[in-house]
Chains A and B, each alone.
Chain A
């Protein structure tokens, strides 16, 4: 019997490892680095790379991993920034309590995110509300909840709790010559690897791709879509919770407004990474490359002294351009399919 073998050959192995789709992202990233480093001598310094860039992308990266899962399933989660706000406040309140410890704060923040995610998931799975509308609603509602939880709506300072702020500004392997690897980056890498493994190697990951690719076919193949829908929002919510904790730790404040606007960046990153708007296509690795591209862009513009407002315009445009490219790609794939169908 003929066995289908895996793709072999050294070049193909490399391309397969990076992924053909990721090649263009790597090229964009390389171009960015080239241009910015030629304009600013600080850019390639370890202080800039590990402090400014690394710390800045970490929170966004964690949110974008969750958003990838949701978007690949053909849905959307607009509420992640608001969930980050809630979990930051919750974690800050817990760590400030007399019995508070960093570990408790971490767990409380994650649970807050999980609950918020399950609320999203239930609205989508049981009430059958369109994901965009559902999470647009909770986007507003969760932000309100964050303000309601915070005493008088004020930010909850955690500057006096070094064990908690260590999550945001701690370093590993620090020495005279080396600024050290930020803890927050280590956390991002762990989350990204877990996300990648989840999507590539587990039954849930397969079900997520199937749901996004064709919900009817997935259901008729015996996949319990309700469970998958709940799971994706639970994952997205929990990771948004983690993002909120890290943000609070880094800014030394569990502010209700924390995470505002980050949903937009996270969604941008996922689409920039080549995910299809209809679902079924996308990868955590690609999203991470896109997060790097966004981070380098923002970092570069800071170094070159570009106004914040221009950066907002750039982010918005980038979202539209990346989706336009994704649409063009899927149209081309569609054409290729119909051509094959017409001929063969």
Chain B
């Protein structure tokens, strides 16, 4: 493969769905040995474009060229054969088998009728060593024990074992910690060096500027710009993506009072040892840390979803005995969980039913729902949050990610809690909707709510929080506020012990040449079903 041969060319592609023109005359070139970042708000057409490249969809008009020759992909298999692979956000992983089997799924080496496990292990060990993932992806982990980062690595390794010329990564870092992002970047750079053409889709503009050679920006199904990445600023890119200036998205009006609405003392649980913190009325308290530091679990322990064996929770000055989520709701807490599709919404039911779910008790008179009151309250919050939905009867599953998140928030605003716990409220939603949610957080704080704000995006944590707790390995490593709250300070606290630990693990491996231990911060006990 010569370096100046054309890689993938998308020429004048259009694609329409019922009621929507998803792509309009889109062209994009990706050369071998180049990383092109594909950017755009949700709904801009990024996923549709990737699906056309992968053969999931066929374009209505326009063409694809690969290596200078026109190609058509009737299905993903044909795209794979031609050397085009798209790595989607949530790869298919077989839960009951190990890393090696998952990577070589469908093409396991055989000796006669039996699987040749020795050869399989050798190959995978070689692959992992070559790409520097031996420690990140321990071979003995079963599919269901893998973190999202590890799942994506498996999907990438799957892609790499065939002769890949064009690799597209669809938001590979949305669930990765900064440390894992670095490892992924190293791999992507290595592949670029080997002459691969790479399309990289992400919402995180900062990291794109570190990685990409060129930037391609989609807006409303049209390619609005393709330009070299060097010299571009975050602000300029956002402006191109949304067509307006969003420099003021983190604006906060400080509203913190002295009244403590949530006081947590000496919590000990499966995930935590001695965690204490407090949230005041009108205050946005950020919880930063690596994935697996115990932030989501802390929210769920406080809310009553997960058990704790020691410690106390005070809401608005009163002691509570929260043992189940409904106790938490009654005490005045609200929780918008991290995974809104799996834990937040009843996708097949209407916007109305989802919005009123937390206030059924209040709406009921002799167990009969007061339907007019229900519509009135739901309308009020759905309108206030600017949820874009044709009607209150619309199935929530048919809304876009940002609007789904707003429905979850509407539910909790209707419940009028004293403390609102937001777990990654902006994950996977577009810039415009993010800005609206930031503004809402500010509004809520000004109305006197205490907000526990969990996020893995450092910029938003730093931009919105009055105070920040940094968690690390099941405890609070430190508290930052004001001038002291910088990226460096947060990262320093979040990673301190983690670094020393991984060094120790390395030495351990070197000494024994045994199997690597699974990184402690990435395994958490299975959730109890109640």
- Chain A 304-344, CB within 8 Å of chain B: the 1/0 string? 00000000000000000000000000000100110111111
* Docked CA distance A342–B528 (Å): 32
Which of A3, A203, A204, A224 lies in contact with B326, CB distance below 8 A?
Answer: A224
Chain B nearest CB, measured from A283 CB (Å) = 13
Closest partner residue, chain B, to A214 (CB atom):
B346
Q: Is A281 at the interface (CB under 8 A from chain B)?
A: yes
- Chain B 432-454, CB within 8 Å of chain A: the 1/0 string? 00000000000000000000000
Q: Is A220 at the interface (CB under 8 A from chain B)?
A: yes
On chain A, the residues within 8 Å of B345 by CB distance are 214, 217
**CB within 8 Å for A217 and B346 given contacts A203-B363, A336-B398:** yes
* Docked CA distance A280–B397 (Å): 13
- Chain B 35-60, CB within 8 Å of chain A: the 1/0 string? 00000001101011001000000000
Q: Is A218 at the interface (CB under 8 A from chain B)?
A: yes
* Docked CA distance A315–B232 (Å): 68
Query: A219 contacts B17, CB within 8 Å?
Result: no
On chain B, the residues within 8 Å of A6 by CB distance are 375
On chain B, the residues within 8 Å of A204 by CB distance are 367
On chain B, the residues within 8 Å of A333 by CB distance are 348, 395, 397
Query: B22 contacts A343, CB within 8 Å?
Result: yes
Residues of B374-421 at the interface with A, using a CB-CB cut-off of 8 Å, are 375, 378-380, 382-383, 391-393, 395, 397-401, 411, 415
Interface residues on chain A, size class: 35 or more
Chain A nearest CB, measured from B199 CB (Å) = 16
On chain B, the residues within 8 Å of A344 by CB distance are 20, 42-43, 400
**CB within 8 Å for A342 and B347 given contacts A218-B357, A225-B530:** no
- Chain B 299-324, CB within 8 Å of chain A: the 1/0 string? 00001010000000000000000001
Query: A218 contacts B367, CB within 8 Å?
Result: no
Which of A206, A213, A336 lies in contact with B360, CB distance below 8 A?
Answer: A206
**CB within 8 Å for A217 and B51 given contacts A207-B360, A281-B348, A344-B43:** no
On chain B, the residues within 8 Å of A218 by CB distance are 346, 357
Which of B305, B378, B399, B415 lies in contact with A220, CB distance below 8 A?
Answer: B305
Query: B400 contacts A210, CB within 8 Å?
Result: no
**CB within 8 Å for A343 and B371 given contacts A217-B343, A222-B326:** no
Query: A210 contacts B325, CB within 8 Å?
Result: no
Best-buried of A3, A209, A214, A343 by chain B (most CB within 10 Å)? A343
On chain B, the number of residues with a Cβ less than 8 Å from chain A's Cβ atoms is 58
On chain A, the residues within 8 Å of B379 by CB distance are 1-4
Chain B nearest CB, measured from A223 CB (Å) = 7
Closest partner residue, chain B, to A225 (CB atom):
B530
Residues of A1-56 at the interface with B, using a CB-CB cut-off of 8 Å, are 1-4, 6-7
Best-buried of A204, A213, A224, A339 by chain B (most CB within 10 Å)? A213
* Docked CA distance A9–B510 (Å): 75
**CB within 8 Å for A339 and B17 given contacts A201-B368, A219-B530, A224-B324:** yes
Closest partner residue, chain A, to B350 (CB atom):
A209
* Docked CA distance A215–B360 (Å): 16
Q: Is A97 at the interface (CB under 8 A from chain B)?
A: no
On chain B, the residues within 8 Å of A209 by CB distance are 346, 349, 353
Closest partner residue, chain A, to B342 (CB atom):
A216
Closest partner residue, chain A, to B221 (CB atom):
A343
Query: B346 contacts A2, CB within 8 Å?
Result: no
Q: Is A174 at the interface (CB under 8 A from chain B)?
A: no
Query: B358 contacts A221, CB within 8 Å?
Result: yes
Query: A341 contacts B20, CB within 8 Å?
Result: no
On chain A, the residues within 8 Å of B383 by CB distance are 1-4
**CB within 8 Å for A222 and B329 given contacts A7-B391, A202-B369, A213-B348:** yes
Q: Is A276 at the interface (CB under 8 A from chain B)?
A: yes
Query: A337 contacts B51, CB within 8 Å?
Result: no
Query: B20 contacts A343, CB within 8 Å?
Result: yes
Chain A nearest CB, measured from B424 CB (Å) = 14
Q: Is B1 at the interface (CB under 8 A from chain A)?
A: no
On chain B, the residues within 8 Å of A221 by CB distance are 325, 329, 357-358, 411
* Docked CA distance A94–B394 (Å): 51
Residues of A164-222 at the interface with B, using a CB-CB cut-off of 8 Å, are 201-204, 206-207, 209-210, 213-222
On chain B, the residues within 8 Å of A3 by CB distance are 379, 383
Q: Is B33 at the interface (CB under 8 A from chain A)?
A: no
Query: B43 contacts A343, CB within 8 Å?
Result: yes
Query: B398 contacts A340, CB within 8 Å?
Result: yes
Query: A210 contacts B349, CB within 8 Å?
Result: yes
Query: A220 contacts B344, CB within 8 Å?
Result: yes
Inter-chain pairs besides A214-B345, A222-B329, A344-B43, 12 sampled, C-beta below 8 Å = A2-B379, A202-B364, A206-B356, A210-B346, A213-B347, A217-B344, A219-B325, A220-B343, A223-B357, A281-B348, A342-B48, A344-B42
> What are some 27 contacts across the A-B interface (CB < 8 A)?
A3-B383, A4-B379, A7-B393, A202-B367, A202-B368, A202-B369, A203-B360, A203-B361, A204-B367, A209-B349, A210-B353, A214-B343, A214-B346, A216-B342, A217-B342, A219-B324, A220-B303, A220-B335, A221-B325, A222-B358, A223-B326, A280-B348, A333-B395, A339-B17, A343-B17, A343-B20, A344-B42
Residues of B within 8 A of A (CB): 17, 20, 22, 42-43, 45, 47-48, 51, 303, 305, 324-326, 328-330, 335, 337, 342-349, 353, 356-358, 360-361, 363-364, 367-369, 371, 375, 378-380, 382-383, 391-393, 395, 397-401, 411, 415, 529-530
